[in-house]
Structure 1
Amino acid sequence: MLCIGDLPRAALPALASRFGFSVAFVTDGQPITGSFWGEPEAGIVGTTLYVRGDTPLHSALHELSHLVCMSAARRAALVRDAGGDDDEESAVCYLQILLANEIDGAGQERLMKDMNDWGYSFRLGTTERWFRDDAHDAAYWLQARGIVDKNNCLLWRLRND
């Protein structure tokens, strides 16, 4: 599994900053603030993403995608649980895959493999099949909110409704 410590230290903060978010690195062995799933999974509080070296990249990108997809009001009150409905959760999964291409050494294929290994569950089986053949509703959700364009290219905008 590709972890934050396997990447250049500036990679994730550079990506998060494109949306106006920050990344806080937690010292190895210390609890991760705002982690919903528990260590070593990423945490979120407000507009800050918390990670440490053993945090899987898929986890960090998933939580970052939650920050992007949620409304400003939800972000302002956020502590640990991103909430959202099933449609938003699908959009988050889709967006994290798109964001993987923005991290040198990661990419969509690697991220989807790690998502499968971690246990993400999609009705067609693998993450790859879902992304390719069954994620049209997730792509539309992101398009309708101006996060991606009609070609699913990132627009670097936040959902602020």
Structure 2
Amino acid sequence: MYISVQLDNLSDGAINKLLEAHLKEMYRHSPPGSVHALNPDKLNDPMVTFWGARIDGVLAGCGALKEITSSLGEIKSMKTDSRFLRKGVARALLERILEEAKQRKYKEIKLETGRTEAFAPAIALYRRYGFEDCEPFNNYTNDPFSLFLGKKL
């Protein structure tokens, strides 16, 4: 199965639908003040670059890279459609995002994710790619529902 990861201009609305489902899921596993996923109304931030992963033309997942500073990027909105779980979609997206972060010459890339059992597969993926626990960054604060991970590039 071939996974195509391409920049997405969000014009077809498919990523919006996937992120709306993502937000619903986040609110199921975390209290409102602990959900940091991008709202669909913030998708056009010029500091955020989106990619869509497609299998046979069908959106299978998405991921984004937000520039925090000229040396720090943040992974945002990593989501795999439930029909495509455990098929390598998140891995393909993460590899593309890491490649872009290196091309931009970021020194580090960080992310925030949940820390409950529902997030265990995502946490395992990030750890396989060398992400380690770090302190809250940018506008985040300590939160018992959040796990902060970082990786030097």
* TM bin (shorter chain): 0.3 to 0.5
The TM-score, its normalising length taken from structure 2, stands at 0.35
Q: Which has the higher strand share?
A: 2
Q: Which has the higher helix share?
A: 1
The TM-score, its normalising length taken from structure 1, stands at 0.33
